[in-house]
Amino acid sequence: MSRTLTAVRHVRRPAGEPRADDFTFVTEPVPDLLARQVLVENAYLSVDPYMRQFMDLGGWRLGAGLEGRTIGHVVESRDPALPAGVTVFHRHGWSTHAVLTAADLRRIDPPDGVPLSAYLGILGGTGLTAYVGLTRVARLRPGDDVFVSAAAGAVGGAVGQIARLLGAGRIVGSAGSAAKAGHATGRLGFDAAFDYRAGPVADLLADAAPDGIDVYFDNVGGDHLAAAIGALRDHGRVAWCGAVAQYNTRNSPPAAPYNLFDVVGKSLRIEGFLVRNHMDAREEFERFLVPHVGSGRVAVDETVLDGFENIVDAFLGVLRGDNTGKMLVRVPIR
């Protein structure tokens, strides 16, 4: 009996904001497995803002398969160490199935109380990014006051929750609406949050953190970075993770912050980082955070769309800020 898989292909580089017709869906036969290969049926697929950069920089080749964090179940195996029924994490996403080897994946065995989807969010690259940014880059100290941009998003929400566990002082966030700001202070435990569309970010941050901040975790760039430079105390630190404000304007990037020289005057440190350069922290991170997720002290914050056919819509939605927490696509088992 023939078997098929459905996958997404990137067919056009966008000029500005991506559109649905920059992608196409294809259906093709599942290849026969070779020795040491397994067939994985994907259950959860992650869509993330960083993928927008891949559309410009060649991380997604036109017409090729798309990289993306994914969790699935082995349904057929020619590797005795990976029998059918095993749950795995891999990065060969944007498809209903993937043919992989042991080198392409890692097994996942969630403990009691931890949902599988958490391994794409708070216990996956999202949470690890937050943890690394706070502990290794910003070197958060107990009592430090923290500002987080995109606080209701996947990484920003994880930063707020993990900073609390690490003993931060006042934790302030920005978000794209009053409702999202309320989500940050309610579900995620921020001390204060503001809608950055309600006025100049520098003024809103000054109101939310009148005594200043020690650490800024930057997911946005632009006016948020300038506002944070203004609010940082002497010897403050910036962990720069993303710049979603300029992902669609790569050919005409915004000017540098007007107050950039304050980095010198205040002896600030700004450090950008990529989580892929810190994968050695994953075991330490999981030891630290898994018990808190299992106990419910840390929320698994996610927005889930059902159906593989909705993956492009989910990706476009995360760029528009339609989600709170991690944006995922759940694929029903066939």
Check residue 56 and give its pLDDT. 83
pLDDT of residue 1: 38
Sorted by where each begins, the domain ranges of the chain are 4-121+300-330, 126-276
- Residues 219-222: contacts with CB within 8 Å, 24+ apart? 219/148, 219/149, 219/150, 219/153, 219/155, 219/156, 219/243, 219/244, 220/149, 220/150, 220/174, 220/244, 220/245, 221/245, 221/246, 221/254, 222/246, 222/254
Q: Taking 90 as the threshold, does the pLDDT of residue 244 lie above it? A: no
The two tokens of residue 150 are 């995109």
Amino acid 246: pLDDT = 57
* Per-residue pLDDT at 57 exceeds 90: no
Name the DSSP class of 153. Answer: B
Whose tokens are 């993937």? That residue is 98
pLDDT at 256 (0 to 100): 77
The more confident residue out of 315 and 249 is: 315
Residues 7-48 have pLDDT tens digits of 999 999 988 899 999 999 999 999 999 999 999 999 999 999
What gap in Å lies between CA 145 and CA 187, rounded to an integer?
A: 19
| CA dist list (Å): 272 to 65, 85, 133, 221, 291 | 28, 39, 9, 11, 29
> What is the arithmetic mean of pLDDT over 147-155?
96
pLDDT of residue 333: 74
Exposure b/e, 250-267, CB count within 10 A at least 16 = b: eeeeeeebebeebbeebe
- pLDDT for res 292: 97
Residues 6+ away with beta carbon under 8 Å from 216: 146, 147, 148, 149, 225, 228, 231, 232, 236, 237, 238, 239
Which range among 75-79, 140-144, 221-225, 255-259 shows the weakest confidence by mean pLDDT? 255-259
Pairing of the two strands 192-195 and 171-175: parallel
Residue 327 has pLDDT above 90, yes or no: yes
Q: What are phi and psi of 74, to 5 degrees?
A: -70, 125
**CATH fold of 4-121+300-330:** Quinone Oxidoreductase; Chain A, domain 1 (3.90.180)
pLDDT of amino acid 206: 98
pLDDT of residue 135: 98
Q: Which of 82-86, 254-258, 285-289, 312-316 has the lowest mean pLDDT?
A: 254-258
What is the pTM (predicted TM-score) of this model?
Answer: 0.92
Looking at every residue in the chain, the average pLDDT score rounds to 93
Report the candidate in 149, 58, 151, 46 with the shortest Cα–Cα distance to residue 94.
46
- Position 250 scores a pLDDT of 56
CB atoms within 10 A of CB 330: 16
Q: Do domains 4-121+300-330 and 126-276 have the same CATH topology?
A: no
CATH fold of 126-276: Rossmann fold (3.40.50)
Q: For the segment 180-212, what is each residue's pLDDT rounded down to a tens digit?
A: 999 999 999 999 999 999 999 999 999 999 999
Query: How crowded is residue 143: how many other Cβ atoms within 10 Å of its Cβ?
Result: 10
Contacts of 298 (CB under 8 A, 6+ apart): 122, 161, 162, 165, 289, 292
Of the pLDDT bands very low, low, confident and very high (cuts 50, 70, 90), residue 308 is: very high
pLDDT tens by residue, 67-117: 899 999 999 999 999 999 999 999 999 999 999 999 999 999 999 999 999
Q: What is the pLDDT, as a whole number, of residue 58?
A: 72
SS (H, E, C) 167-227: CCCCEEEEECCHHHHHHHHHCCCCCEEEEHHHCCHHHHHHHHCCCCEEEEEECCCCHHHHH
